[in-house]
Structure 1
Amino acid sequence: MDAGAERLRIGGLTPLTSIDFPGRLAAVLFCQGCPWRCGYCHNPDLLDASIPGNLPWARVLAFLTQRRGLLDGVVFSGGEPTLQAALPAALAQVRSLGFEAALHTGGMYPRRLAELLPLLDWTGLDIKGPLQRHDAITGAPGSGLRSRESLGYLLASGVAYECRTTWHPGLFSVDELLALADELATLGVTHWALQECRAAGAAPFALTPVQTQALAARFSHFTLRRN
């Protein structure tokens, strides 16, 4: 998995964010292409991996060079950044400019993630759901097992992270959500965020305060995000 950073297909750029890389002011690069087809995907225009990027890497470098001393870091999001062979070179160039590097990933390529972790300062790993529901959510057989393998690499690396799950009761039940929290806590996850799914047709959010407290009690850092 190696290619020049100039081959990274980028579908968009957010010049400033304070929420996508905790504790940092960052720019976000949205990488083109994702092999999964989650029904609630927030960036469906980035799914097709055959679409060329619309932002050349040279322009990204020029932008970042101008922002040295103003931004703390750069987030590679998507789409799925680890789909692209040019990602390691792009991460290395970002770090050479003095920026910290963050990654948003679904964990579909565990070995690639393991190779990238030494280049990362923070990782946001999407845990789509319980193992028995994961493949149906992503439309990709075996995706649940791959996400758990990626989680193992992430936890062993010592890289700062957040696991996050987007949920509404139509995806899986409250009991399954509580069981997922138990699973993650048992695996050693300490930072978990539960995100309300606001996609069209999503069932109403259905957690009681008691259930929310039960989830929070399993983690040293728990965040509930309701837009």
Structure 2
Amino acid sequence: MSAAPAVAGLTPFSSLDYPGQLAAVVFLQGCPWRCVYCHNPGLQARGPGRLGWAELLAWLERRRGLLDALVFSGGEPTLDAALPRAAAQVRARGFKVGLHTAGLYPERLATLLPLLDWVGLDIKAPLADAALHRRITGVPGAEGEVAQSLALLAASGLGYECRSTIHPALHDGAALQQLAEQLAGAGVTRWALQIARPDGTAGGAGALAPVPPDYPDAALLARLRGRVPGLELRRG
């Protein structure tokens, strides 16, 4: 196992990445997916980190009383074999530990759950729609692993939310309704719909058209909230 995680970057302060907590966000290097709306293509290739983990821990020590939590994001942070040890080190310093994951590795997530306080699970598409999931991620067959991760979280007792980055060229009303039904069936109560921003994505300018301001429309949002009352729409 690697002694330290491959840290690609740090956001020193965020009030958005762990609901209700003031957090720093650590971005880990590496992700096997190639999502069409990815804004962090530089994090996709697995490789060495740009920031030293020991130095980051020392920085975190100086933030006692100023920060509540540290969130591991990516890339896909569960790809990093050093993540469990790093999460334990953060927790031992009195900080809560959050995780952003797309649920690619349910076995690794199961190992991490005792070390976590909150998880943001990225659900790309209805998990019964293998073709759409592959169109978004560029990887076939991964929706089964995401379903396992969702089931693990639902049974864990941890605080969590599901997030879906959506675009009208990818997610029509039927797809969003199908996704809402699946999440409701899994017991999800918090669901964030994040409007995709085509600018700056891995696909380059023009890969996805700008999103109309009325997407998704009010009637569709009402239907979705009828299934997942804790739905939140995030733009920008």
Q: Shared fold by TM > 0.5? A: yes
Task: Find the residue that maps to 1:13 and give its secondary structure.
Answer: strand
1:67 equivalent to 2:66? Answer no
Q: Give 1:3 shift.
A: 4.0
Q: Give 1:172 shift.
A: 2.9
Structure 2 gaps of 5+ residues are 200-205
For 1:1-227, what aligned pairs fall within 5 Å after superposition? 2-4=1-3, 6=4, 8-49=5-46, 51-131=47-127, 132=129, 133-200=132-199, 201=206, 202-203=208-209, 204-205=211-212, 206-227=215-236
Shift >2 Å, 4+ stretches: 200-206
CA–CA distance in structure 2, aligned partners of residues 220 and 98 of structure 1: 33
CA–CA distance in structure 2, aligned partners of residues 167 and 73 of structure 1: 28
CA–CA distance in structure 1, aligned partners of residues 134 and 109 of structure 2: 20
Count of residue pairs the alignment pairs up? 223
Asked whether the 8 Å contact 1:3–1:89 carries over to 2, the reply is no
Task: Find the residue that maps to 1:35 and give its secondary structure.
Answer: coil
* Alignment deviations for residues 43-101 of structure 1 (CA, whole Å, 9 cap, x no partner): 1111111x310001111111001111111000000001000100000000000000000
Amino acid at match of 1:179: Q
Amino acid at match of 1:58: A
- Taking structure 2 as the reference length, what is the TM-score of the superposition? 0.91
Q: Give 1:39 shift.
A: 1.0
CA–CA distance in structure 2, aligned partners of residues 66 and 165 of structure 1: 34
CA–CA distance in structure 2, aligned partners of residues 156 and 142 of structure 1: 23
CA–CA distance in structure 1, aligned partners of residues 125 and 136 of structure 2: 8
How large is the RMSD of aligned CA atoms in angstroms?
1.2
The farther-off stretch of 138-147 and 79-88 is 138-147
How much identity, in percent, do the aligned residues show? Answer: 55
Q: Give 1:223 shift.
A: 0.4
CA–CA distance in structure 2, aligned partners of residues 96 and 220 of structure 1: 35
CA–CA distance in structure 2, aligned partners of residues 124 and 113 of structure 1: 12
Asked whether the 8 Å contact 1:191–1:222 carries over to 2, the reply is yes
Q: Give 1:102 shift.
A: 0.1
Amino acid at match of 2:26: L
Task: Find the residue that maps to 2:24 and give its secondary structure.
Answer: strand
* Alignment deviations for residues 110-161 of structure 1 (CA, whole Å, 9 cap, x no partner): 1100110111100000000013211221111111111111000011001100
CA–CA distance in structure 1, aligned partners of residues 22 and 186 of structure 2: 30
